[in-house]
Structure 1
Amino acid sequence: MTALTPSSPDKLRVDIWSDIACPWCYVGKRRFEAALAAFPQREQVEVVWHSFELDPSAPVRPGQSMRDILASKYGGGETRAQGMLDTMTRTAADEGLDYHFGEVQPTNTFQAHQVIHLAAEKGLQDPMKERLLRAFFTEGEFLGDPEVLVRLAVEVGLDAGEVRAALASGDYASAVRQDEAQARAVGINGVPFFVLGGKYGVSGAQSPDVLRSALEQVWQETHPAPLTLLGQDAPAEGCEGDTCAVPGAANRA
């Protein structure tokens, strides 16, 4: 369970654990995209999203606003909680994101993660992840409603009947739990969390510069540049297989 998938010889795999209800995860996604845009080998980077629930026990309908939840969790009352949300809103705006915490409808994200796994099988994982994040933080959609998830999935190209059936059967529930178990096994307890090349971890919504530097470092270590041969104008003296060049042999022929 602890083994992470390494990069293939011509790719750099980046595994990202995040939650849909995590405001820093959306910011981290934007910052990683900026880093990737500036990375020369960006076409050779394979991104795989993994499920992580900040609160697996969260009710589908908690009946609380984001401000109420923060006030209860961190203390300090509604004023402090609102200040935290305002700061997060400004941080998101710096990345081009438009957060509306007053309209956010907190919910359990287990079913939403299942939809992302279904989308991954159709080659639509990233657009599905993006659509759910925007729906949650910007549009105030209630992601605890399966029919809302179906509608959003259809927008990115999934079949409504297939999504509805997958949610009803829980076909992808085990995939979500496997992601979460793997996160625990390798020591991931906060998100976003990036694993590059199956062995290098970057925690948190780091700046694009930090993420790009990590991409470059791991690429160089896992995809070393081919050897450049020098002095090829001179005759090669050496052995290949069971044949060895004899000094001066060419002149005596």
Structure 2
Amino acid sequence: MSSSPKAVQQDPLRDVEPIDARVVHWFDFICPFCYVSQDRDELVAARGLDIVDLPLRAHPEISLAGVRVGPRRGPMYRHIEAEARAAGLVLNWPSRLPSSSVALGAAEWARRIRPAISREFNRSLFEAHFVLNQDIGDEATILRHAALLGLDPALLAAALADGSTAGWIRESESAAHRHGVRGTPAWLYRGRLLEGARSAAEFFRFLEAD
């Protein structure tokens, strides 16, 4: 493991721009549509394609203090709950929305230095928010989950403190906006963009279209 996350990838956007065998996926940990769409990575891999998971804040306006939210009611929330059940996912709506900057920065750090376990780390942070109702806006929460997976919390804390992770998020969001991404989740493949929670059938058509 490198002692400096910056040394791992000199060009931070090197693997953002898509190639024919790569799907670029932008996500946010506080986005319920992203949570219920986690298995799309496996659908991509099953077709022999690579996928790059990149950060995009769904609500960059949320401060580090977070915001409290009330009960989720209405057709949209019932749809999300049905999608979670269909995917075999527990969904406990959190009582507050945190800033996702720390969690997304940590995820991008993990992707760069330990790509083999970065998706497991992502799953743990999704679970922390949508199942365990832990505060993923709290750096201590993120460092604890990192340590449980064998990631070095001291190196992660250093990257969070020195601005590396914040810069990577800005670069990822800039790339997303250049490609017309308006929200999460979003997938880019062969110049085509698919956004929002889509059925598996729609996702298959997206991957298979010429």
TM-score (norm 2): 0.82
Match of 2:10 in 1: none
Q: What CA deviation, in whole Å up to 9, does each residue of 1:179-215 have, x standing for no partner?
A: 1112222211121110113x12112221112222322
Asked if 2 retains the 8 angstrom alpha-carbon contact of 1:61 and 1:106, the reply is: no
Which amino acid letter does the alignment assign opposite residue 27 of structure 2? S
Between the aligned residues of both structures, percent identity stands at 24
Match of 1:148 in 2: 141
Asked if 1 retains the 8 angstrom alpha-carbon contact of 2:16 and 2:52, the reply is: no
Q: How does 1:1-253 map to 2 (within 5 A)?
A: 5-7=17-19, 12-30=21-39, 32-33=40-41, 35-36=43-44, 39=46, 41-42=47-48, 45-67=49-71, 81-83=72-74, 84-101=76-93, 103-121=94-112, 122-123=114-115, 124-197=117-190, 199-218=191-210
Q: Would the alpha carbon gap of residues 106 and 149 (structure 1) be closer, same or farther in structure 2, given more than 3 Å must change?
A: same
d(CA) in 1 for partners of 2:89, 2:157: 29
Aligned residues: 194
Displacement over 4 Å in runs of 4+: none
SS of residue paired to 1:163: helix
d(CA) in 1 for partners of 2:148, 2:123: 12
Give the Å deviation of 1:15. Answer: 0.4
SS of residue paired to 2:164: coil
d(CA) in 1 for partners of 2:118, 2:196: 21
Which amino acid letter does the alignment assign opposite residue 183 of structure 2? G
Q: What CA deviation, in whole Å up to 9, does each residue of 1:51-90 have, x standing for no partner?
A: 11111120222351353xxxxxxxxxxxxx4335444223
Give the Å deviation of 1:24. Answer: 0.4
d(CA) in 2 for partners of 1:216, 1:191: 21
Q: Which runs of 5+ in 1 are unaligned?
A: 68-80, 219-253
Asked if 1 retains the 8 angstrom alpha-carbon contact of 2:44 and 2:51, the reply is: no
d(CA) in 2 for partners of 1:209, 1:89: 19
SS of residue paired to 1:90: helix
SS of residue paired to 1:29: coil
Which amino acid letter does the alignment assign opposite residue 62 of structure 1? G
Asked if 2 retains the 8 angstrom alpha-carbon contact of 1:16 and 1:48, the reply is: yes
Match of 1:71 in 2: none
SS of residue paired to 2:209: helix
TM-score (norm 1): 0.69
SS of residue paired to 2:187: strand
Across the aligned residues of Structure 1 and Structure 2, the Cα RMSD in angstroms comes to 2.3
d(CA) in 2 for partners of 1:166, 1:82: 38
d(CA) in 1 for partners of 2:194, 2:83: 20
Q: Would the alpha carbon gap of residues 187 and 66 (structure 1) be closer, same or farther in structure 2, given more than 3 Å must change?
A: farther
